[in-house]
Amino acid sequence: MAAALVSIYPDLAAGAVLLRPLSPFATPTGTRLPGTPVLIIDGSKDDRRMPDDGRRLAEQMTEAGAAVTHHQLAVGHTMTEADCALVREWLGTHF
């Protein structure tokens, strides 16, 4: 949902943290996200997502101009302390 909001309304937020995301649209929206900071963290063992969903979304947002940081953790769908640490570090750097 957050990925869709950022993609449709680029001025809505200063950036986005997307945990275990998937691309909300089958085709790019055409929205430009010039320099918008986006953190994407997905899990390589996530049985609720297709392999590489996070990578594909990272590529789409990068093509739209966002400043994407992408991490893939060796975890499932549940958020972990590793997620929290990456989010804290990223927020401290970007905001």
Q: Which residues are CB-contacts of 6 (< 8 A; sequence separation ≥ 6)?
A: 12, 13, 16, 33, 36, 38, 61
pLDDT for res 61: 94
Domain membership of residue 82 as a residue range:
36-95
Task: Determine, yes or no, domain membership for 70.
Answer: yes
Tokens 């449709």 belong to which residue?
Answer: 8
Q: Please give the tally of structural domains in the chain.
A: 1
Task: Determine, yes or no, domain membership for 27.
Answer: no
Task: Determine, yes or no, domain membership for 90.
Answer: yes
Task: Determine, yes or no, domain membership for 11.
Answer: no
pLDDT for res 24: 87
Task: Determine, yes or no, domain membership for 81.
Answer: yes
Task: Determine, yes or no, domain membership for 49.
Answer: yes
Q: Report helix, strand or coil for 62.
A: helix
Task: Tell me the whole-structure pTM to 2 decimals.
Answer: 0.94
Please write the tens of the pLDDT for every residue from 16-71.
Answer: 999 999 888 888 788 999 999 999 999 999 999 998 899 999 999 999 999 999 99
